Structure 1
Amino acid sequence: MSKIKVGVIGASGFVGAELTGILLKHPEVEISGLSSINHVGKAISELYPAFTAQYDQKFEENDTVINRSDILFICLPHGESENLVKQCMDQNKKVVDVGADFRLKNLDVYKGWYGVDVEFPALHEQAVYGLPEMNREEIKRTKLVANPGCYSTSILLGLYPVISKKLVDPGSLIIDAKSGVTGAGKTLSEGTNFAVKNEGFNAYKVATHRHTPEIEEKLNLMGAGEIKVSFVPHLLPVNRGILSTMYVDILDGVDAKSIQPTYENWYEDEPFVTVLKAGKLPDISHVQHSNHCQIGLTIDERTNRLIIVSVIDNMQKGAAGQAVQNFNLMLGIDETKGLSMVAPSF
């Protein structure tokens, strides 16, 4: 059986390199090309020495990679994917857009938060939000997947059961989340400089982070209604990992003891989501370098509030790993193929 020809656009960034590493081990994939705007002619091993003697593919122009691929992963900053997606779709290629361009259905909201005009609204209508635990069947049928944001993934997976079952008051929701510095991308900035970030810990983009409308829109689809959330992200002095803590009031009349089994039943058959036993809480080190999400629950009986802690690796389930999970579903492949990574023991 011939392998699927896969191209990675924007392969020189953190997510593109992570994705390339996963695809190299995928038994159904042949990497047909890697593109980069700034590094054409360089080998990926020159930028990321971990590939040395294992994979020395050189970066090429976008058009070259698109033309020889059956399916494309596009790993570019917001505002840079839409025209390339149009080009791919016109050539009947399938696309997983790992950036933000197609995540929001409300295009006015997208423009307001991202400051980008939409040129091809029909493409946005076609795009399926790529959270498999929410949209698995739709992902199987589409040619265009919008890979979720990293914060959004950890938060939505943490809230999905109780929002859908209407066990909590969505209007009371407060979200506190922490990410490793790779979430900021590869571009250098003072805030991610080692001397500044090492032994530091700070909130950033308070009430203005661009994953906010994505979280709100998808919670609405889960049954929360038109809500506004308080979302405060923080930057951890670690390379990778997201820990999101959600605080939400339990509705009157809901038996708090039913919440733990509700989560366990909801995610029982999900290959990449684990609900920890009552009293256990997750740690980002337990999911690093894997496509897994772990969720821990605590009931604050004094306040009748549910506290949800959800952890993922922002480079894996928050980006490249989830992109491959979506790719597998789009191609009718076992969705766990190529994603059997286990977090390091220490």
Structure 2
Amino acid sequence: MKSRFSGRRGAAVVAVAVMAAGGFVASAQAATPLGDVTKDLTYRCAFPLVGQQDVNATVNITIPDTGTTGTRIVNGDLKITATLSANIVNALRAFQTATTEGTAVADVDAAYDSKNMTLGIPGLKIAKQTVPPSGTMPVDISGPVPSLIVYKAGGVSLAAGAVFTAKVDTRKADGTPTALGVLNVPCSVKATTPPQDRSLATIAVSGSDVPPPVPGTPPSQPIDKSLTYNCVFPETGAVDVAGRITGTIPATGTVNNRVQPSLSVTATLPTSVVDVLRNNSAATVSGKGVADADNAYNGTSITVGIPGPVPSVNVPASGELTATLAPAVPSVTVGAPGTVTISAGQQLNGTFTPLKADGTPTALGTFDVPCTLNAGQDPTLGAIAFS
């Protein structure tokens, strides 16, 4: 069976750029047909009380078989079904655990253009699950994955990372926390003889080389950068939108050790756009999408389209509307010394749904908002020198 799962994570590889992309969302168009991929892996996870336990997981993802230079490669959502043993479930029941849910971070290894890196991809959701009265317990984990654009022909090889970490919130039947609270569960791919095959897939990218975005001058840290995008909204058409990116990108890192950036994005919609929302009786607006981020590492450039939510914000009675986004930025580990330069990408594309005060949709329905970075700006956010 083909390990398509890797493709999706592959998108994540580009996720280094996610550091720049912050949290504005965007929609993207797939360049090639998607294929369904399934991968079975066994992890060794450390649980409170019961210690190290085996957890079997089935990963499902749809990703393209091929790609073209300069054209976006879009992946489907990642879906993982894990099975907790009766031993683990018995321990949960011993503490009156009625339900569990949480979040997860999964590592993905990627190789492209003779470069190797590992991305710790956050933002995966562990669905709420009722603890059964006996036996094993299924756990569903899912989340969107980044798209990517590469600029040189070649193969993007992907593999499941060696590490997977979960945060599990345990609750009693009345909704209050159990004595276990939130469990931190670190997992590693189980060492076996022969070793488990973590390789997922290689996306074959063809076409002539395309000039990548050219990074500018990294700003001092912490980041406080204002950028202007031109966005197309319903009724108002094309208008400029002011964005402010804040956060920190570490200046240095060590090869084979994680570096964790942090970013937040504030976007201000002009009065003309918000008037359209008000004229359609919108009380709130929320959405999702993808933000492009460019990264350059030792002569290799990749653009990553980072998916994420736009949390609901109230529509004010007058004036502009401001929304602050706090993206779940992945950690990055590289396998060789060099510098990773991170910049905000050229595209920010969103899908939004305004709602009336009673929670029903407005006449605007759900609409797409494509945005392009205005020319003449330096979108560079930072550079990490790995040694």
Question: Considering the TM-score relative to the shorter chain, is it more than 0.5?
Answer: no
Q: Which has the larger radius of gyration?
A: 2
Give the number of the structure whose residues are more often helix, by fraction.
Answer: 1
TM-score, normalised with respect to structure 1: 0.29
Higher relative contact order (CA 8 A, sep 6+): 2
Structure (1/2) with the larger strand percentage: 2
